[in-house]
A and B are shown apart, each in its own frame.
Chain A
Amino acid sequence: MSFKKILFFSAITFYAMACGNAQQNQNSDPSEHIATNIQGSVKYKQYMVEGRRLYTQYCSNCHQPDGGGLGKVYPPINKSDFIDNNFEESICIIKNGRQGEITVNGITYNQPMMPIPGLTDLEIAEISTFIYNNWGRDKGLIPVKGVQDILSKCTNK
């Protein structure tokens, strides 16, 4: 084996090992491309995949990866009467954050949530789609247009 080959092999091995930051592979099952209803559509699945990624990046620190919140500091969003009953306000909170007391499942929380700078309307639609089609919810795809209409009426800007 020549030196170059060995070096190449070493590099490949090192890359393969790396530190486990391998990207999740998108599912390429051909049956996924057959849209039967809105929830089976490719677009819905894209929103869910991106929504999960964005949730992990921006929301899960406080609300936790399982959506269960943390003590009485950060409220849950998995089983949450607030999320269930306040769809439009929840989307406004994702965009603009929130200050002051909030009651979730009968418990009062009071930890400010800062807005996330630079979150696009599409990203908010993806996060909303993820939250509203997870943990027993079944609201279907939340389109960007719908999100924009809601955001234009937010009172917590």
Chain B
Amino acid sequence: MKILFNKTIYALCLWSGMILMGCGTEQSKTSDRLPILGRREAVEKKDADGNTITDTIYHTITDFAFTGQDSSTITNESFKDKIYIADFFFTSCQTICPPMKAQMLRVHDFIADKPEIEILSHTLDPEHDSIPVLKAFAERLGANPDKWHFVTGDKNEIYRVGQSSYLVTAREDSSEPGGYLHDARFVLVDKDRRIRGIYDGTKPDHVDRLMADLPKLLKEYHTTAP
């Protein structure tokens, strides 16, 4: 009897766990403060009085330098005092990129009147996606060049920054359609280079959540100012 009871409890836990897990896409919907994502480290240091204190070092976007669609150099400095949304794509991609660009256009329209928010799209195919190709693509998409930066650069550097900083999957893979394996992530970066949200750029409901998160993140930087 006891064994049966234990098994019943076990099965019920399993069952309710499955229900609670659901499809696991709901994240901190009600929280006002966005999480800080990525690996973090605790370091001990001395404060001014010589006491040992513990400080948390968050994952941040590394230094980068790429070239934008108008031939300007785009670096971290270009996003000083800006929040931005980063993604990775290539212009000849016919799989997940067009839906990503359709969704990013929604974000682009949403941030049109928000000077502190910009977009950074990296090509994964710099050999084909030269500056003129990116410029033409951006114009045809209707992207405001002051708002939405399309960048190219050294291929390995783009992949390195993508994988290590933005935590996306991005690499060459001849078995994939178009020749590149990559995911559809939109990565939300705050003014301190920290990742505050990761969204599936092909899914309208995820992008809705991104657009709902943007004002929350802006608010963090305006709590002291009126």
Contact = CB atoms under 8 A, between A and B. Distances in A.
- Judge: A and B partners, yes or no: yes
Interface of A: 1-3, 6-7, 9-10, 13-14, 17, 19-20, 61-62, 64, 70-74, 109-114
B140 A6 contact: no
30 contacts: A2-B4, A3-B4, A6-B8, A7-B11, A7-B14, A10-B18, A13-B18, A14-B18, A17-B18, A19-B23, A61-B94, A61-B96, A61-B97, A62-B94, A62-B98, A64-B98, A64-B102, A70-B101, A71-B140, A71-B141, A71-B142, A72-B140, A72-B141, A72-B142, A73-B98, A73-B101, A73-B141, A110-B140, A111-B137, A111-B140
Given A19-B23, A71-B105, A72-B142, A6 B12 contact: yes
A53 B12 CA distance: 39
B99 interface: yes
Contact of B15 (A9, A72, A111): A9
A10 B14 contact: yes
Interface in B84-138: 91-92, 94-99, 101-102, 105, 136-137
B53 interface: no
Nearest to A9: B15
Contacts of B96: 61
A17 B19 contact: yes
B226 interface: no
A137 B99 CA distance: 25
Interface string B18-36: 1100110000000000000
Interface of B: 4, 7-8, 11-12, 14-15, 18-19, 22-23, 91-92, 94-99, 101-102, 105, 136-137, 139-142, 178
B7 A3 contact: yes
Contacts of A10: 11, 14-15, 18
A14 B21 CA distance: 10
A13 B140 CA distance: 48
Contacts of A114: 92, 94, 178
Contacts of B178: 114
A20 B15 contact: no
Interface centre among B12, B102, B139 (most CB of A within 10 A): B102
B8 A1 contact: yes
A128 to B, nearest CB: 19
Contacts of B8: 1, 3, 6
B176 to A, nearest CB: 13
B19 A61 contact: no
B187 to A, nearest CB: 21
B197 to A, nearest CB: 21
B167 to A, nearest CB: 23
Contacts of A1: 8
Contacts of A17: 18-19, 22-23
Contact of B98 (A6, A72, A74): A74
Contacts of B101: 70, 73
Contacts of A73: 98, 101, 137, 140-141
